[in-house]
Amino acid sequence: MLDLAPFRNGEKTFAQLAEPLTKADLYTLFNELIDAQAAELADVTDADLTFVYDDAELKEGEIAWTLNHVIAHTTASGEESFANGLTLARGVEITGRSRYESPWETITTADQMRQRLEESRRMRLAMLDAWPDEPHYDNTFTPFPRAGAINAKGCVVMCLNHDTIHLGQLREIKRQLRASHQ
């Protein structure tokens, strides 16, 4: 998996992390991450979806997330990043949000959650497949100030960063879930 510590430590931007990567690298890194998420969800049962973990970083008024909430959010954000990457690769300006998040409350079984993850993998890979043979890597946008200006490859790296954060969240939920059964 891609070492994202240089971004998180403020040493590098998404653009700097993305620069040396090839499109083939993006496929590999993305699939590794989705495989890791799928592995975390492999033994999840329907009953596990209602487990609310103790989130130490929760702010007042926020709700702690369940596994299905994490997957609904992560897949929506990832799809938006890949859609933005496709838009930039095609040489088109990004003019607004490209996001739809499945309501997490409608994901009521473990199989539905795993299916949502695999559907999102298929969709994101299709968007990467749709890049032109010569992507417009000079076409950039700034999704938020800390991200800096990113191109199509930077959009995928931003997605990898976001998904990796939520992979940690999945692992923590699973850790607490296992501990609650002891």
DSSP character string of 70-119: HHHHHHHHHHHHHHHHHHHHTTPPP-S-------GGG--SHHHHHHHHHH
Instruction: Enter the tokens of residue 149.
Output: 């200006």
**pLDDT > 90? residue 61:** no
Structural contact between residues 151 and 80, judged by C-beta atoms closer than 8 angstroms:
no
Query: Is the confidence at residue 182, as pLDDT, over 80?
Result: no
pLDDT at 113: 97
**In the structure encoding, which two tokens stand for residue 65, read together?**
């997330």
Place of tokens 């240089």: 6
Give the per-residue pLDDT at 155: 97
The sign of the torsion formed by the CA atoms of 172, 72, 56, 144 equals: positive
**Mean pLDDT, the chain, integer:** 95
How would you class 92 by CB atoms within 10 Å of its CB: exposed for 0-12, middle for 13-18, buried for 19 or more? exposed
What Rg do the C-alpha atoms of the chain give, in angstroms? Answer: 17
3-state helix, strand, coil in the chain (%, to 5): 60, 0, 40
The number of beta carbons lying within 10 Å of the beta carbon of residue 176 is 14
Distance of alpha carbon 77 from alpha carbon 99, whole angstroms: 7
Using one digit for the tens of pLDDT, what is the confidence trace for 158-172?
Answer: 999 999 999 999 999
- Summarised one tens digit per residue, pLDDT across range 111-169 is 999 999 999 999 999 999 999 999 999 999 999 998 999 999 999 999 999 999 999 99
CB atoms within 10 A of CB 85: 29
Lookup: tokens for 5: 């510590």
